[in-house]
């Protein structure tokens, strides 16, 4: 897998990966209404294009296909997603390792993430600790996620 900086040619694929991954992997932890509020199936490609031009995510490319992405700014990991057909292959670990290396280069001592119920075990596996449980309102739906942190060891 190769990790590259944002390329606008992938904007449509990123928005589709986000929506499809949420609907196909988080459906055991969230209702259909919650999933629709979180990731509207009617994708607003223009809104995504604008967002991505600002956040400039890292892209995970495997066999010339977009298989994951993450937005990372300062000490915060946002939108950490691996394509539903490519999960449990070590791609998430590789993407997270890339972020850890970026954090170390920038002397960031603590990483933060707000992880879904579904993603929480992944982050726990790599040492993130739950700080608090959050109740987020979106389109009259309440979604649960967890604020988590990881202390980075510079040794």
Count of positions (residues) in the chain? 155
Q: What is the pLDDT of residue 133?
A: 98
CA 149 to centroid of chain Cα atoms: 15
- Give the tokens for residue 137: 């309102």
Sign of the alpha-carbon dihedral angle for 56, 62, 67, 68? negative
Count the neighbouring beta carbons within 10 Å of the beta carbon of residue 86. 20
- Give the tokens for residue 96: 């997270």
Question: 107: which strand partners?
Answer: none
Q: What is the pLDDT of residue 63?
A: 86
Which domains, from first to last, does the chain contain? 2-108 (3.40.630.30)
pLDDT tens digits for the chain (155 residues)? 899 999 999 999 999 999 999 999 999 999 999 999 999 999 999 999 999 999 999 999 998 899 999 999 989 999 999 999 999 999 999 999 999 999 999 999 999 999 999 999 999 999 999 999 999 999 999 999 999 999 998 76
- The pTM of this model reads 0.93
Q: What is the pLDDT of residue 153?
A: 81
């Amino acid at each position: 897998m190769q990790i590259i900086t944002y390329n606008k040619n992938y904007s449509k694929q990123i928005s589709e990966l986000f929506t499809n991954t949420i609907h196909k992997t988080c459906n055991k932890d969230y209702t259909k209404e919650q999933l629709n509020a979180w990731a509207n199936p009617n994708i607003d490609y223009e809104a995504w294009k604008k967002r991505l031009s600002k956040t400039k995510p890292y892209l995970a490319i495997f066999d010339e296909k977009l298989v994951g992405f993450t937005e990372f700014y300062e000490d915060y990991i946002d939108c950490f997603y691996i394509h539903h057909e490519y999960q449990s292959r070590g791609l998430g670990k590789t993407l997270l390792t890339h972020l850890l290396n970026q954090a170390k280069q920038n002397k960031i001592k603590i990483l933060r993430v707000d992880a879904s119920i579904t993603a929480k075990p992944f982050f726990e596996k790599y040492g993130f600790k739950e700080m608090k449980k959050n109740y987020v309102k979106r389109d009259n739906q309440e979604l649960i996620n967890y604020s988590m942190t990881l202390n980075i060891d510079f040794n």
